[in-house]
């Protein structure tokens, strides 16, 4: 248990060796489930703190900002390098990503690159086809085997010491988010009491409730996006396209498109495939914050229309 506590602070702390942990069998571990239970139980704090429109809007805004941080930044930038930015902005992107409470950017990218290499195969950590829906949604996150960051697969990111630092001490994200919410809630209680909010109320709505929605929205890409929806491309796995999932996850629902061509900044390949993260990236590009957004290749459109006719 003490090791787990130290590992909570230092994500690279594995006294038995990261390789040994990665070679362990996959299994449910209660101590690894505790943070998720804590996150969900924290929502019950609403019984004591109540609600206000300010708190609800903070929760909604944090859902959209952090879902974009996961899909637009952790996924499309850190994992797939679908666009470019400066080193200081890359650092800020990593900090924003940490506030989604999905561990560090290098761990996230390493796990996801492995998913693309072995999608719906036995070694895929979160395949609903191989391991069942519940395991692919949340179970895999309770197994120590999936915890060490495989730095060998993210060498392009590991050359930045500031990113390795944030990846190692990813607890910075939740601490920062909690402190910001509590501090601003207390300030509002003191200087704008008519809003009817306070520190603990913003923590319950902005930290617990909002994060639970971001968490399950992201997990749905592992579970639902490989079970429900349509297939445009024969990708050799069960990845699907789903409008509903694309709306919930700000564009990640076009998962079959993405499995076919991963390097594009755009996952909704057509104008009617709503992809809010891509629109945000376009806006950031217009402001000069990001650049060189990689587009969908002509071959993907040609193959897409040929396979649609074939079906
Ligand atoms: Zn997938
Ligand atoms: Zn991907």
Q: What is the pLDDT of residue 5?
A: 84
Q: Is the pLDDT of residue 158 over 90?
A: yes
3-state secondary structure of 181: helix
Per-residue pLDDT at 310: 56
3-state DSSP helix/strand/coil percent for the chain, to nearest 5?
65, 0, 30
Query: Angle CA(62)–CA(158)–CA(265) in degrees, nearest 5?
Result: 50
Q: Measure the CA–CA gap between 152 and 212, rounded to whole angstroms.
A: 31
- Provide the pLDDT for residue 129: 87
**Do the Cβ atoms of 83 and 285 come closer than 8 Å?**
yes
Q: What mean pLDDT is predicted for residues 184-194?
A: 98
Q: Which ligand is nearest to the CA of 222?
A: 1
Placement of tokens 């919410």 in the chain: 181
Ligand number nearest CA of 79 is 2
Beta-ladder partners of 290: 85
Q: How far is the CA of 189 from the centre of ligand 1 (A)?
A: 44
CA 192–ligand 1 middle distance (angstroms): 45
The tokens 């609600």 sit on which residue? Answer: 51
CA of 79 to the centre of ligand 2 (A): 7
pLDDT of residue 308 exceeding 80: no
Banded model confidence at residue 305, pLDDT cuts 50, 70, 90:
confident
Q: Looking at the predicted structure, is the pLDDT value of residue 176 above 90? A: yes
Assign 4 a pLDDT band (cuts: 50, 70, 90). confident
CA dist 97 and 52 (Å) reads: 27
Length of the chain: 311
Query: What is the DSSP secondary-structure string of 240-306?
Result: -B-HHHHHHTTSTTBHHHHHH-TT-S-SS-STTS--HHHHHHHHHHHTTSEE------HHHHHHHHH
For residues 123 and 50, the model is more confident at: 50
The ligand placed nearest to the CA atom of residue 221 is 1
Supply the mean pLDDT for the chain. 95
Asked if the model's pLDDT at residue 1 lies above 90, the reply is no
Complete DSSP assignment for 21-48: HHTSPP---HHHHHHHHHHHHHGGGHHH
Give per-residue pLDDT as tens, 205-245: 999 999 999 999 999 999 999 999 999 999 999 999 999 99
| Whole-number Å distance between alpha carbons of 205 and 83 | 33
Question: Is residue 152 helix, strand or coil?
Answer: helix
Residue 218 alpha carbon to ligand 1 centre in Å? 11
User: pLDDT tens digits for 266-292?
Assistant: 999 999 999 999 999 999 999 999 999
Torsional sign, CA 68, 271, 241, 291: negative
Q: How far is the CA of 80 from the centre of ligand 2 (A)?
A: 7
Model confidence at 309: pLDDT above 70? no
pLDDT confidence band for 306 (50 / 70 / 90): confident
Task: Residue 99: name the closest of 125, 81, 73, 79 by CA.
Answer: 73
Q: What is the pLDDT of residue 8?
A: 86
Residues 6+ apart with CB under 8 A from 252: 71, 75, 221, 225, 245, 246, 258, 267, 277
pLDDT greater than 70 at residue 33: yes
% pLDDT > 70, the chain: 99
Burial status of residue 1 (CB atoms within 10 A of its CB: 0-12, 13-18, 19 or more) = exposed
Retrieve residue 194's tokens: 């008519």
């Amino acid at each position: 248990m003490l090791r787990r506590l130290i590992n909570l602070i230092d994500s690279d702390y594995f006294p038995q060796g990261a390789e040994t942990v990665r070679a362990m069998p996959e299994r449910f571990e209660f101590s690894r489930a505790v943070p998720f239970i804590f996150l969900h139980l924290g929502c019950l704090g609403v019984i004591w703190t109540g609600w206000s429109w300010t708190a609800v809007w903070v929760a909604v805004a944090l859902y959209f900002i952090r879902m974009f941080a996961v899909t637009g930044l952790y996924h499309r930038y850190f994992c797939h390098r679908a666009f470019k930015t400066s080193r200081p902005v890359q650092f800020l992107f990593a900090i924003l990503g940490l506030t989604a409470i999905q561990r560090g950017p290098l761990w996230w990218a390493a796990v996801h690159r492995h998913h693309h290499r072995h999608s719906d195969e036995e070694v895929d950590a979160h395949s609903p086809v191989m391991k069942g829906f519940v395991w692919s949604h949340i179970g895999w996150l309770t197994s120590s085997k999936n915890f060490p960051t495989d730095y060998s697969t993210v060498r392009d990111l590991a050359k930045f010491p500031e990113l390795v630092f944030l990846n190692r001490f990813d607890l910075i994200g939740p601490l920062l988010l909690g402190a910001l919410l509590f501090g601003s809630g207390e300030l509002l209680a003191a200087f704008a009491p008519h809003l009817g909010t306070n520190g603990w109320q913003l923590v319950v709505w902005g930290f617990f409730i909002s994060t639970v929605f971001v968490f399950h929205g992201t997990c749905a890409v592992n579970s639902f996006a490989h079970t429900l929806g349509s297939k445009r491309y024969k990708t050799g796995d069960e990845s699907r396209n789903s409008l509903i999932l694309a709306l919930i996850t700000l564009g990640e629902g076009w998962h079959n498109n993405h499995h076919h061509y991963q390097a594009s900044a755009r996952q909704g390949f057509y104008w009617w495939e709503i992809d809010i993260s891509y629109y945000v990236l376009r806006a950031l590009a217009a402001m000069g914050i990001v650049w060189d957004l990689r587009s969908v290749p002509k071959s993907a459109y040609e193959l897409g229309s040929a396979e649609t006719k074939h079906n």
